């Protein structure tokens, strides 16, 4: 008998896959097994992995998938808003699932450790997004406002 937690996690990931497939089709992108696997790996992780780390995860099921394929898919998924790239400070881009209800489940800010480059989610409930007045946007048509809090994570503080 499977534990209840596993059933819930399974149901959640099935819902995520369905939402993802629907989003892809609505944006004219075909839903391939590899694409599903890449999204599932991202949605199942809160570590904001790099393309290389994602490649290592997805290869467990698709041993022949190339890093170039991972990059191509990430770019296609980023273009339709299913994946978002998480910032600078990193030489390599870092990614996360960004459909409502997947990954962190909702828009959020990030706390980034300047030592180990770990990225943690910071919910908007703990830090309401800054309201940007029209005159502050300097003529930009604002699509989103992201806050990145930089500092030393608890692990790195302990190691110091």
Q: Where do contacts with Zn ion occur on this chain (CB under 5 A)? A: 96, 104, 113, 115-116, 118, 121, 153, 156
Smallest gap from residue 96 Cβ to Zn ion (A): 5
Placement of tokens 């995520």 in the chain: 16
154: tokens are 């608890």
* 3-state DSSP assignment of residue 80: coil
Q: Which residue has the tokens 């990954």?
A: 103
- Give the Cα-Cα-Cα angle 130, 135, 100 (nearest 5 degrees): 40
Taking the least distance from each CB to Zn ion, the nearer of 24 and 112 is: 112
CB nearer to Zn ion: give 23 or 48: 48
Residue 100 C-beta: closest distance to Zn ion, Å: 14
Q: How far is the CB of 86 from Zn ion (least distance, A)?
A: 6
End-to-end, the C-alpha distance of the chain in Å comes to 45
Of 55 and 110, nearer to Zn ion (C-beta) is: 110
């Amino acid at each position: 008998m499977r534990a209840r937690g596993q059933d819930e996690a399974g149901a959640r990931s099935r819902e995520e896959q369905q939402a993802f497939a629907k989003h892809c089709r609505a944006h004219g992108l075909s839903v391939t097994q590899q694409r599903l696997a890449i999204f599932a790996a991202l949605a199942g992780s809160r570590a904001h992995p790099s393309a290389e780390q994602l490649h290592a995860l997805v290869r467990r099921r698709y041993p022949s998938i190339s890093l170039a394929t991972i990059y191509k898919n990430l770019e296609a998924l980023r273009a339709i808003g299913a994946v978002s790239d998480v910032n600078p400070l990193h030489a390599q881009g870092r990614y996360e699932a960004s459909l409502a209800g997947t990954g962190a489940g909702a828009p959020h800010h990030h706390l980034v450790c300047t030592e180990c480059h770990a990225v943690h989610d910071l919910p908007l409930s703990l830090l309401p997004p800054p309201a940007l007045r029209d005159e502050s946007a300097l003529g930009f048509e604002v699509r989103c406002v992201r806050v990145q809090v930089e500092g030393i994570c608890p692990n790195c503080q302990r190691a110091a």
